[in-house]
């Protein structure tokens, strides 16, 4: 027990964090552990690009929070630093149409955004391929969270344009990495036959990290992000245990950050197990928060209506949704399917008293947790 009761307390200008950015979702760690075989497979697919040829197209799949995006970002960083290969990562949760994807590619190549209106897709596409041929560059495009393109029925057109670029413009060399966290989505089966005929990808799978891997990764992250002695072994083990329950490393990384903030709230120099347990009430919803952030206003409106009519029949929910948004049943049905595929809601069929089968709509999360994150 220290003589000075203030010895274990932070002063106003002190922090437990050495580098808080270490806990951000877009942070790419210097050391990327427990994914050596996946990195080797991706390097194998990308190697032809370094020689000036088209790389092998690749599907990268696995549950959320298993290192897929980080692996691609790490290799893209190396390619940009050490070679002339041009790389562009597109977040399809944000850019979920073919035009939006190619606008993002345009920005990656020209370093400025194309006009927001008045330029056709054909012209946009032509400017991209013209520049690639003129500069004799190979382009590798990563479609991250490609499942969002499927939810909007944009995946086949987008991939077809990318994969057929060399036919539309002789000399254009483009390779595609498709990244999906939706394990229920069979990317190949869901594509049009015209795309299937030209899309013969390598496949790289990222499994869930086991608990030992999680401890190792989080220990390294804590070492870089916190000052010495802030997080002890019992606290780290508790973070790893909770992370393993969710199977999503992002939960653990967010949990470390929030536990650190809780310690600071107490003006403490060290994180306690109670700080971790309290932080988990928010960190366990990392995946939900990310899914809700990517929804449009009308999609969020439907989530809000379902939260208010949780477990009720689809017809009742539609009436309330239509009254709020004035949107028709076709769009309503499309959004229901998207929310179901995202795992935000559960749509289950049931017999309704001699009137046939109807869907009941239920949130997959606590309604209050959903509403506070909208």
CB 39 within 8 A of CB 73: no
pLDDT at residue 351, rounded to an integer: 65
Q: Two tokens at 210? A: 């086991």
CB 43 within 8 A of CB 1: no
Give me the tens of pLDDT residue by residue for the chain, a chain 374 residues long: 344 434 567 888 899 999 999 999 889 998 899 999 999 999 999 999 999 999 999 999 999 999 999 999 999 999 999 999 999 999 999 999 999 999 999 999 999 999 877 899 999 999 999 999 999 999 999 999 999 999 999 999 999 999 999 988 899 999 999 999 998 999 999 999 999 999 999 999 999 999 999 999 999 999 999 999 999 999 999 999 999 999 999 999 999 999 999 999 999 999 999 999 999 999 999 999 989 998 999 999 999 999 999 988 889 999 999 999 999 999 999 999 999 989 999 988 766 655 567 788 999 999 999 999 99
Task: Delimit the CATH 1.10.8.60 region(s) of the chain.
Answer: 210-291
Place of tokens 């990310």: 290
pLDDT at residue 2, rounded to an integer: 42
pLDDT at residue 118, rounded to an integer: 82
For the domain made up of 210-291, the CATH class stated in words is mainly alpha
Q: Please give the biggest Cα pair distance in the chain.
A: 78
Task: Delimit the CATH 1.10.10.10 region(s) of the chain.
Answer: 295-372
Provide the 8-state DSSP code for 354.
T
CATH number of 295-372, picked from 3.30.930.10, 1.50.10.100, 1.10.10.10, 3.30.70.250? 1.10.10.10
70 annotated as ligand-binding = yes
243 annotated as ligand-binding = no
**Which residues have a Cβ under 8 Å from the Cβ of 197 and sit 6 or more positions away?**
none
Provide the 8-state DSSP code for 23.
G
- Work out the burial of residue 207: count CB atoms within 10 Å of its CB; fewer than 13 is exposed, 13-18 middle, 19 or more buried: middle
CB 371 within 8 A of CB 291: no
Task: Give the Cβ contact number of residue 44 at 10 Å.
Answer: 14
What is the distance between the alpha carbons of residues 173 and 152, in angstroms, rounded to a whole number?
Answer: 27
Helices in the chain by DSSP H: which ranges? 36-50, 68-82, 98-110, 121-135, 147-151, 155-163, 165-168, 187-190, 193-196, 211-225, 233-246, 249-265, 273-283, 286-293, 297-308, 314-325, 329-342, 367-373
**Which residues have a Cβ under 8 Å from the Cβ of 47 and sit 6 or more positions away?**
55
66 annotated as ligand-binding = yes
69 annotated as ligand-binding = yes
36-205 has CATH 3.40.50.300 classification: yes
DSSP per-residue letters across 125-165: HHHHHHHHHHHT-EEEEEEETTHHHHHTT-HHHHHHHHHTH
By C-alpha distance, which of 139, 137, 147 is closest to 60?
147
What is the distance between the alpha carbons of residues 92 and 362, in angstroms, rounded to a whole number?
Answer: 26
Task: Delimit the CATH 3.40.50.300 region(s) of the chain.
Answer: 36-205
What is the distance between the alpha carbons of residues 254 and 163, in angstroms, rounded to a whole number?
Answer: 37
Buried/exposed code over 318-327 (b: 16+ C-beta within 10 A; e: otherwise): bebbeeebeb
């Amino acid at each position: 027990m220290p003589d000075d009761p203030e010895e274990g307390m932070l002063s106003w200008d002190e922090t437990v964090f050495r580098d808080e950015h270490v806990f951000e979702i877009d942070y790419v760690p210097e050391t990327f552990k427990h994914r050596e075989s996946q990195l080797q497979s991706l390097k194998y697919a990308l190697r032809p690009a370094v020689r000036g040829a088209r790389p092998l197209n690749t599907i990268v799949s696995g549950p959320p929070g298993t290192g897929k995006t980080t692996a691609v970002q790490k290799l893209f960083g190396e390619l940009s630093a050490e070679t002339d290969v041009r790389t562009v990562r597109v977040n399809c949760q944000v850019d979920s149409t073919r035009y939006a994807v190619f606008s993002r590619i345009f920005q990656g190549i020209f370093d400025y955004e194309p006009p927001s209106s008045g330029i056709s897709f054909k012209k946009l596409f032509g400017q991209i391929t013209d520049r690639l041929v003129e500069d004799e560059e190979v382009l590798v495009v990563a479609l991250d969270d490609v499942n969002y393109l499927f939810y909007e029925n944009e995946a086949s057109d987008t991939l077809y344009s990318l994969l057929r670029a060399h036919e539309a413009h002789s000399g254009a060399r483009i390779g595609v990495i498709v990244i999906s966290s939706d394990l229920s989505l069979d990317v190949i089966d869901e594509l049009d036959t015209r795309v299937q005929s030209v899309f013969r990808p390598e496949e790289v799978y990222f499994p869930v990290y086991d608990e030992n891997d999680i401890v190792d990764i989080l220990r390294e992250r804590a070492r870089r992000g916190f000052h010495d002695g802030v997080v002890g072994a019992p606290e780290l083990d508790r973070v790893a245990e909770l992370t393993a329950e969710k199977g999503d490393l992002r939960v653990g990384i967010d949990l470390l950050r929030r536990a650190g903030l809780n310690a600071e709230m107490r003006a403490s120099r060290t994180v306690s197990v109670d700080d971790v347990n309290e932080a988990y009430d928010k960190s366990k919803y990392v995946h939900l928060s990310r899914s809700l952030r990517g929804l449009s206003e009308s999609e969020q409106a439907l989530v809000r209506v379902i939260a208010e009519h949780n477990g009720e029949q689809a017809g009742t929910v539609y009436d309330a949704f239509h009254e709020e948004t004035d949107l028709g049943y076709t769009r309503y049905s499309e959004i229901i399917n998207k929310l179901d595929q995202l795992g935000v809601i559960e749509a289950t069929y049931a017999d309704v008293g001699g009137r046939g089968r109807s869907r009941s709509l239920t949130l997959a999360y606590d309604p209050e947790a959903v509403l506070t994150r909208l």
